[in-house]
Copies of this chain bind each other. A is one copy, B any other.
Amino acid sequence: MVDSLEQKTQGNHVRTQAELADAVGLSQVTVQRALANHPSVRDATRRRVEEAVRKYGYRPNAAARMMRTRKSKQIGVMFRNALDRPLTNLSAFEVLLGVNQELEKAGYLVNVVRIADVDAEATDAIEARVFREQLLDGIIAVGQFPESIVEKVEDLLPHVVWVESQVWRPRNCIRRDEVYHGHLVTNKLIEAGFKRLVWVGRVREKSHHFSEDDRYLGVCQAAHEHGLAVEHFDLPVDLHGEPIDIKTLEKFVTPGTGLITYDSVRAREISFLSHVIGRRIGADIGMVSCENTYIDATSWPGLSCVHADRFEMGVEAAKLIGAAMSDEDAPCVSKLIRGEWRAGYTCGALSVDGEGGASCIPPNCGLLSS
């Protein structure tokens, strides 16, 4: 008897509450209650247990608790990651970090649910283990998904929150207010004096993201309110895209024009290509972006844009699902998130005499000091 007890306490680590109980001379149940901060446990007893936990390095077995409580305390963050869609990755990652930050407070772990689908049906994408088994308490889906996946996910998981997705309902959804963003940046261009407005992005194409429609809509609304028209063209945004026609570029990236880019990738390319054709953005050519990434905000503070923090969106999504999981009757009202305007210097006031063109970067923009 004594031997076996000593053996257990000799090994410097202890794996179960029962072993811990042996070590301190209590029953397993008392140990359990001490660890759960049950009020019925005497303070002295609790301290004995806590000390033993440290001494023997006891760590609770997550599997056992999961089984007993029928809750895994794990939620998934789901996103698509065909390798030709890297931008999806980035925004999803920022969301993921926000989700993680918020949910870890409540003791939740985050699992990565990568949907590497190619075709729209992607019937086997859903065959990943998280879906085949009972494991996750809920899932946060970031981006767009085929309807077949939407249905299946909602069927298999008790709680689902949709972020930046085509799924948009009164409850359990998070989106940016894209129409507002398009409207906002366009107004800024107009305020700066630009009368010729050009949308740089896709217009009415198939299989695109809803934000393309919404931002363009906001742009057109703002222009319409000022009696202005909106022209448009687009750039290739990946390695496999067509090269941009230089004449198109010269036609649109021209003094007096205000460019509204769909995203910061296009803004980057415009900035780069405009130098190639000998034009400079920031004074007689204006440019605003409807969106940027955290990386862009860091490495290119000069971009005039709306900054909608995806980390923050992750936090909001986590709050929604957290509320749903801790209270079945939580309202979980969907949320539209409005980003904030970042002035930057690519949307400077239009200098009518064209003087600005020579030195379009303000000396105090933060990039340079003399």
Contact = CB atoms under 8 A, between A and B. Distances in A.
Nearest to A268: B299
Among A132, A276, A299, A311, find the residue whose CB has the most chain B CB atoms closer than 10 A.
A299
B112 A100 contact: yes
A344 interface: no
Among A104, A130, A244, A311, find the residue whose CB has the most chain B CB atoms closer than 10 A.
A104
Contacts of A108: 129
Given A100-B114, A243-B369, A369-B244, A134 B60 contact: yes
Contacts of A265: 299
Interface stretch (A64-72, A190-198, A217-225, A331-339): A64-72
Nearest to A132: B59
B368 A299 contact: no
B86 A245 contact: no
B64 A238 contact: no
Interface in A97-149: 97, 100-101, 104, 107-112, 114, 116, 128-130, 132-135
A89 B97 contact: yes
A370 interface: yes
A93 interface: yes
A133 B244 contact: no
A272 B109 CA distance: 40
Given A86-B295, A111-B112, A242-B369, 5 more contacts: A97-B114, A108-B129, A246-B368, A246-B370, A275-B280
